[in-house]
Amino acid sequence: MKAPCNDFKRRLAAGEVLNGFWLSLASPVASEALSLAGFDWLLFDGEHSPVDVAGVQPLLQAAATGTASAVVRPAWNDKVLIKRLLDIGAQTLLVPFVQSAEEAAAAVLASRYPPHGVRGVAGATRASRYGQTEDYFAVANREICVLVQVETGEALGRLEEIAAVDGVDGVFIGPSDLAASMGHLGRPGHPEVQAALKDAAARIAATGKAPGILATNAADARRYVDWGYRFVAAGVDIGVLMAGAKAMLAEVRGS
């Protein structure tokens, strides 16, 4: 049995634009259903949701039903969390709050086995099909995709240094936290923030790395793609659920 290939990493390196969706409900049912909706990737959020590492595994198992690639965001840039998520089968990680090249390098090292990193070695994990693959240790480092999240003005000032770190495959800009750090808490649509987002896409692309971002609606997602972002989440599960439910209620009430 062969170890799985990372289709997300392959397609990102090929220059494709990948349309994604953000999941925070921690529901295997939602995970399975949305994996069949046609998205290129799904993000399972371990930072701003109640799910812990053990709760991520059933989400990954459910998502394996469909065709969307799984991306997992750990709660922090922590080598123990990264090791545990990789062991349960995550191949692509979105590491939050990366402020410097050194922090980006630490995330990469945590995702690699020695001698190229510090990831602890375990044999019978879900990542290696419970020890049934014949080549997992030979290909694991190559198949892991590391995306780092830049979400403050301070980190934005070091964008090229962060993106240049070997092993970083993409740089994701967090609009909400960036807006807060720029003095526009709760207003990612502020013109100053939007200008910074547009500039960031060009700067990341100039380093040869893929820019990524989260949108909360289709119009924003299309604009971000036009600006050069190549992995874009077009919405968040709880937001889509609430908007759909409220629209239905308004229609029922005739309001």
Decide if 48 is catalytic. yes
Contact, 70 vs 41, CB < 8 A?
A: yes
Contact residues for 46 (Cβ-Cβ < 8 A; gap 6+): 52, 53, 56, 72, 73, 74, 75, 81, 85
C-alpha 222/C-alpha 210 separation (Å) is 16
The 3-class secondary structure across 26-84, one letter per residue, is CCHHHHHHHHCCCCCEEEEECCCCCCCHHHHHHHHHHHCCCCCEEEEECCCCCHHHHHH
* Active-site hit among 48, 116, 184, 190: 48
What are the two backbone dihedrals, phi and then psi, of residue 153, each rounded to the nearest 5 degrees?
A: -60, -35
Contact, 58 vs 88, CB < 8 A?
A: no
What are the two backbone dihedrals, phi and then psi, of residue 69, each rounded to the nearest 5 degrees?
A: -75, 145
Angle at 72 between CA 66 and CA 76, to 5 degrees: 170
Which of the residues are catalytic? 48
